[in-house]
Structures are given as structure tokens and as C-alpha cells.
Amino acid sequence: MHDDLTQCPECGLLQRIPVLPPGGSSVCARCGCVLHRDRPDSLNRTLALTIAGLALFAIANGFPFLSFSMQGQVTQTTLFTGVLELYGQGQWQIAAVVAFTSILAPGLQLTLLLAVLIPLYARRLPSWLPSLFRYVRNLTPWGMMDVFMLGILVSVVKLSEMATILAGPSLFAFAVLIFVLAGAQAALDPDLVWSRVPRGTRAGAPLRAADSIGCEVCELVVARHPAPGAGLRLHCPRCAALLRYRKPESLERTWALVLAAVICYLPANLLPIMTVTSLGRVRSDTILSGVGYLLTHGMWPLAAIVFVASVFVPLLKLLILVYLLISVEVRSGWRPRERTRLYRITETIGRWSMVDVFVVSILAALVRLGNLASVEAQTGAIFFCAVVVLTMLAAMSFDPRLIWDRLGPDLESERALQQGQDHVRDRERGDPGARGADGPSAVRARTG
Ligand SMILES: [Zn+2]
Ligand SMILES: [Zn+2]
């Protein structure tokens, strides 16, 4: 990708990535977003971690996870028990979200990644490989094993007074898997795939910044207007993703999703998310009363974590999105860099709100002793789950490049485009030394 034109996914600036020092990274000259990292020995490390991850995934799903013992009665659960139990209680919506985020997405991600890495390791490039890699990238935000682990911690603490909880072998595999998966994601260099895929013809290169369209998946920049006969829908010549100048109807879609999330936010916090039956006593818990329970039992660090993740983060995320939407609608020119950073925050923190949904699922799986002790999910949990998923979708449908589009003509991109074309011309003339491989560039490289 070096010496190629790239488009910053967050501010839309066209720029060229210089050759990076080992372990270095390049950040966008305008908004500060990390564009590319040099990851030494990426293929070997990612492949090793992916294989280890799949083995741990099999152990984590095949063996007992936690066991719950109360007055001589013991129940054993696997990772999937919570999903089955929620489905049995008629809460199929929560069951589907828990199954997807804690089991299906991480499992698929590891399997597809292995399917991508093996041909690369064998130095082959089947035609389906770029599309498959695209799915791996799209699945990443939906894998939430780390949030699930926090859910386990909260559940175990909540049950510690009521019963004895014992860890099964799968819990340890699950804990290690979280780090292995994070390691694989950090070791994976997308350039491993993209640099080996032919980029299509040069004819697709844009002449003006306003004509350029950057691929959201592989970041290749091509001309916006399709060649005659190419059809109206333009696909990336490298990864086959549908090319869009900006995310389609970004403002309308984001407004709709934010509004839907706001509507769900009230019942999510007011209605009970679960009822706990213990020795004949029945107690309903809302999100806030759950936090109160942790507080009154002296577990204030955990209470603080649950409060921040479940009440504060969704509200903050909605407020930030509404602010960004309004600032784009009124064509604000105020601190675009800071607003882009705000957007980056909403994308990273949102998933942690899922912790209470996981707690309900884990408790429902563990506490299944009928009248002696049982936990049932309630309607509040469905609304809460909806708030988390809707705010995640809202953040994904917002296009941060709109913040910068409102600032007027993009002269910096025009300059980068010209430099890129001069560079290509020099190279085609057989004069690669005319401009160093990392010649004029808008990108700053930094090590570490
Ligand atoms: Zn940028
Ligand atoms: Zn692409």
C-alpha cells in the first residue's frame, strides 16, 4: 500500500502513507486517526494465535463453564446454557443477541480468519479470499467475549451470598481466549491481504479529489464515476466491496436509530430486567436496583462499573451522537478534530453496555432450581438490549467525514492527489529515485 493514495476513513483526507519504520505507525495529518501500523512478522503471529484461539474456543464451548450449588443441589452450565434458558423463557430476542455476540461472532471470526491465513501462508490467492477477509473485518465489533467475562464477574459476585459457585475447565480456556483473540487482532496486518490482491487497472485512479471515492474496507482510492458500461453500482476493484462516496443516507439513518434508542432507553431503565426467586422470595431487579444491591452489599467498585457501563455510557453515547448530528446539520466549523475524536469514543465504548444483558443470561443459566432458586429475564432486558444494539448501529451508520465535508473545498486532498500522480508518472518513466519511496506526504509517521 505504500506509495499508494489512501483515504482517511474518519475525515476523508486523501494522503500517501510513507514507508514505516519497524513497529511504526502513520496517523492522519488532519484528524489524527491511525491509518496504518507496521506489524512485524504479522502472518506467522496471527496464524499461531488464530490456531490457539480455535483450540481454546472448542474447549470453552465443550466443557462445563460454571457450576452452581445450593443446599446440596448442583447445576452445571456450559456457555450455551444461558442462550437455551433465555429461549425457553420466551426471550428469543435476548437469546439471539447473546448467542451472536458471545459465541457465533468470535467463533466465525476465528474460523474465517484461519480460512484467509492458510492460503496466504501457502502463497496462494484464491479469488474468494478478499471477500472472506471483508467479513472477518465486519464481524470484529460484534465479538464481545471480554464484555461477557465482566458479566461473569458481576454474576459470580451477585450469587456469592446465595450459593457456592465453582469454576469449570471451560472458564479458564475462555479467559485465555480473550487475550489470544485480542492478540490475533493486534497482530493482523490488513496489508497482508490487500497488498497481494491485484488492484485492477490504473484507469480507475481519480484525477480530482472531488471525483475520488475511498473503499471503506481496503482503503483503495478510485475514480468516483464508473467507466462506461460498468453499471451504476461501483465495486472496489481490489476487495469487491460496494463503493460509496459517503455512507448512504448517513444523517437520516443515524437520526432514526438514535430516536429509536432514546424511545427504548426509558423502559430499559424503568422496567425490571429480571426476577430472582430464592427460597420462596421473589425479587424484581431493574438496572438501577441491581446497582443498588451491589452498593448495599459493599461491592462499590463493581457497582460503579455496572452503573457506568449500563446507565452512563448509553446516555453519553446518545448525547454525543445527537450533538454530532446537529453540528453536521447546521454546518458547524467548530473544532472538527475534536468532534471526530468524540465520534471515535462512541465507537469504542458502546459495546461495554452489553454487560447487564450477559449478566441476565449467565444468571438464568446458573440458577435453575425451580422454587428453591431461579432467575427469569424480564421485558426490561429486551429494551435494554435494543438500546445497546441500536446505539451501536447508529454509531456505525454515522459518517464522520461529513464533519469535514462541511468545511469547504478540500485543498489538502487535491495536493496529495497531485503528488501521488507525479510519483506514479516518475515511476512509470522508470525513475523511482526521482521522489523517495516516502516522498512528499501528508502523513506523519511515528514509532512505537
Ligand atoms: Zn483523517
Ligand atoms: Zn476495497
**In the chain, what are the helix, strand and coil shares in percent, each to the nearest 5?**
55, 10, 30
Which run of H or of E encompasses 215? none
CB distance 413 to 401 below 8 Å: no
Alpha-carbon distance 227 to 78, whole Å? 54
The C-alpha cell of 16 is what? 500517501
The C-alpha cell of 262 is what? 432514546
Alpha-carbon distance 433 to 222, whole Å? 25
CB distance 362 to 274 below 8 Å: no
Any residues with CB less than 8 A from the CB of 105 and at least 6 apart, and which?
139, 142, 143, 144
Residue carrying C-alpha cell 495529518? 29
CB distance 352 to 73 below 8 Å: no
Who surrounds ion ligand 1 at CB < 5 A? Answer: 8, 10-11, 13, 28, 30-31, 33
Q: What is the mean pLDDT of residues 166-173?
A: 92
CB distance 306 to 355 below 8 Å: yes
Q: How far is the CA of 133 from the centre of ligand 1 (A)?
A: 24
Closest ligand to residue 219's CA: 2
* Angle between helical axes of 250-270 and 313-329 (0-180°, round to 10): 150
Q: Per-residue pLDDT tens for 382-391?
A: 999 999 999 9
CB distance 216 to 255 below 8 Å: no
Q: What is the mean pLDDT of residues 152-177?
A: 90
* Angle between helical axes of 355-366 and 145-159 (0-180°, round to 10): 50
Any residues with CB less than 8 A from the CB of 127 and at least 6 apart, and which?
none
How many other CB atoms are there within 10 angstroms of residue 262's CB atom?
Answer: 17
* Residue 148 predicted with pLDDT over 90: yes
Q: How far is the CA of 323 from the centre of ligand 1 (A)?
A: 20
Q: How far is the CA of 14 from the centre of ligand 1 (A)?
A: 9
Strands 5-7 and 34-37 come out as unpaired
CB distance 59 to 342 below 8 Å: no
The C-alpha cell of 425 is what? 508518472
Q: How far is the CA of 194 from the centre of ligand 2 (A)?
A: 8
Q: What is the mean pLDDT of residues 402-411?
A: 81
Dmax (CA) of the chain: 85
Q: What is the identity of the amino acid at 166?
A: L
* Residue 438 predicted with pLDDT over 80: no
Q: How far is the CA of 179 from the centre of ligand 2 (A)?
A: 29
Q: What is the identity of the amino acid at 269?
A: N
Q: How far is the CA of 155 from the centre of ligand 2 (A)?
A: 42
* Residue 410 predicted with pLDDT over 80: no
Closest CA to 195 of 257, 130, 249, 253: 130
CB distance 347 to 341 below 8 Å: no
Alpha-carbon distance 273 to 249, whole Å? 34
What average pLDDT is seen over the chain? 86
Alpha-carbon distance 288 to 201, whole Å? 58
Q: How far is the CA of 33 from the centre of ligand 1 (A)?
A: 5
Alpha-carbon distance 328 to 330, whole Å? 6
Closest CA to 440 of 430, 426, 428: 426
CB distance 50 to 63 below 8 Å: no
pLDDT at residue number 91:
92
Alpha-carbon distance 22 to 406, whole Å? 37
Q: How far is the CA of 112 from the centre of ligand 1 (A)?
A: 29
Alpha-carbon distance 214 to 401, whole Å? 11
Closest CA to 419 of 392, 384, 393, 443: 443
Q: Per-residue pLDDT tens for 43-97?
A: 999 999 999 999 999 999 999 989 988 888 888 899 999 999 999 999 999 999 9
Burial class of residue 318 (count of CB atoms within 10 Å of its CB; 0-12, 13-18, 19+): buried
Q: Per-residue pLDDT tens for 244-291?
A: 888 989 999 999 999 999 999 999 999 999 998 888 888 899 999 989
CB distance 98 to 151 below 8 Å: no
Q: Per-residue pLDDT tens for 285-314?
A: 999 998 998 899 888 988 999 999 999 999
For residue 124, give the 3-state DSSP assignment: coil
